[in-house]
């Protein structure tokens, strides 16, 4: 059984979720002459499966190897992909497929967006974070000396294939970190996600396939709805940034790579709830605010950061690309599943809320 979520961009595309979801590529493969599978060594087995399926459909495949992890998001890596596409005389009737975590799908998307000013791309994310976040939305970027994700493109994929079977090989800390984005989706738009987690945390943590498929489908639906309404990030997408303002500051403060993105998001979510509950008008109710910490801690996610870090974190928030000039735009909840944007929140409020995550 697979679930299909349509992202309402123009043209729309599907995210197919479930065991054997790779077969959803069949109609796409009927239209292409050759496929380049871009993957890193650690996901070679998944890339083999995808390449095998493509071949079984009578389409030629070439493999392009890129480095694991964040190191993949580099112009030299994009250049390596372009070189491979050039050698195979890749055209707009061909298809690039990125297999791996968020860094791999990002660099693959960037290379595909820029080769011949855009060739079709599909993603087979192999991490939870990739499935619920990085592979959906069409933003693809690399890191440069100027900063992370500053050079990129909007390039929506033709298809995203999420097979929960791929998660079996993921390290537990990476799996758990990915759950922070799932929890975020629960708070901003689909509280049933929180109910599913609270009902049986153990099933979530042991990656029970039915539970994971349900959570994946729900979280993908949340992201798909927001991206469909705002494909080029002109406003509404900001709600996806819930918990991310402090998270980005933590990642920067700790030194990139020292904290998993999802772990930082977990702290950021508790902080965002703390800001929400302290607002003078439209304050978030205590039960919903407290629920952030309870659900994240039940999953084993961190909810605290260095007590002395506030001044450094505040400075890091100032340079976050999601703020407009000097103005900080901070996502809070008015109530469960009712996100709102605070423009230039009060400094005392921001600082006092940090007490809830300081430790
Ligand atoms: N690649 C993630 C996004 O577009 O949101």
For ligand 1, atom 2: residue with the closest CA? 134
Residue 324, pLDDT above cutoff 70: no
Q: What's the mean per-residue pLDDT of the chain?
A: 96
Q: What is the pLDDT of residue 319?
A: 76
Tens-digit pLDDT profile for residues 62-104:
999 999 999 999 999 999 999 999 999 999 999 999 999 999 9
Q: What is the pLDDT of residue 290?
A: 98
Tens-digit pLDDT profile for residues 4-41:
999 999 999 999 999 999 999 999 999 999 999 999 99
Give residue 325's pLDDT band: very low, low, confident or very high (50, 70, 90): low
**Ligand 1 contact via 139 beta carbon (within 6 Å):** yes
Torsion angle defined by CA atoms of residues 291, 292, 297 and 302, in that order, rounded to the nearest 10 degrees: -160
Mean pLDDT, residues 331-355 = 96
> Smallest Cα–Cα separation from 101: which of 93, 113, 109?
109
**Number of helical H runs and strand E runs in the chain:** 14, 11
> Ligand 1: which of 127, 138, 149 to mutate, judged by most atoms within 8 Å of the beta carbon?
138
Q: What is the pLDDT of residue 337?
A: 98
Residue 131, pLDDT above cutoff 90: yes
Tens-digit pLDDT profile for residues 292-306:
999 999 999 999 999
Q: Which ligand 1 atom is the nearest neighbour of the CA of 154?
A: 4
The sign of the CA dihedral 31, 32, 38, 43 is positive
Q: What is the pLDDT of residue 327?
A: 84
């Amino acid at each position: 059984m697979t679930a299909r979520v349509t992202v309402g961009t123009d043209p729309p595309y599907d995210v197919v979720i479930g065991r054997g979801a790779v077969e959803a590529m069949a109609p796409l493969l009927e239209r292409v002459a050759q496929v380049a599978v871009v993957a890193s060594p650690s996901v070679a087995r998944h890339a083999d499966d995808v390449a095998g399926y493509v071949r079984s459909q009578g389409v030629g495949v070439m493999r392009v190897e890129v480095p694991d992890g964040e190191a993949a998001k580099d112009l030299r890596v994009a250049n390596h992909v372009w070189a491979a596409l050039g050698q195979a005389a890749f055209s707009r009737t061909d298809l690039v497929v990125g297999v791996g975590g968020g860094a791999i799908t990002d660099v693959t998307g960037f290379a595909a967006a820029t080769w011949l000013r855009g060739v079709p791309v599909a993603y087979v994310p192999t991490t939870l974070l990739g499935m619920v976040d990085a592979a959906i939305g069409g933003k693809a970027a690399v890191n440069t000396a100027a900063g992370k994700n500053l050079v990129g493109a909007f390039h929506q994929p033709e298809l995203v294939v999420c097979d929960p079977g791929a998660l079996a090989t993921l390290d537990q800390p990476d799996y758990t970190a990915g759950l922070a984005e799932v929890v975020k989706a629960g708070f901003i738009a689909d509280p049933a996600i929180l109910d599913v987690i609270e009902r049986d945390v153990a099933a979530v943590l042991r990656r029970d396939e039915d539970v994971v498929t349900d959570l994946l489908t729900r979280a993908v639906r949340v992201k798909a709805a927001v991206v469909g309404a705002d494909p080029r990030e002109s406003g509404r997408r900001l709600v996806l940034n819930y918990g991310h303002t402090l998270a980005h500051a933590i990642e920067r403060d700790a030194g990139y790579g020292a904290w998993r993105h999802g772990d930082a998001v977990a702290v950021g979510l508790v902080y965002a709830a703390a800001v929400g509950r302290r607002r003078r008008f439209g304050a978030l109710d205590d039960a919903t605010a407290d629920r952030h910490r309870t659900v994240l801690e039940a999953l084993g996610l961190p909810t605290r950061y260095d007590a002395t870090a506030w001044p450094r974190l505040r400075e890091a928030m100032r340079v976050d690309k999601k703020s407009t000039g000097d103005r900080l735009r901070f996502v809070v909840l008015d109530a469960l599943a009712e996100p709102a944007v605070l423009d230039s929140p009060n400094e005392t409020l921001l600082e006092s809320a940090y007490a809830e995550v300081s430790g």
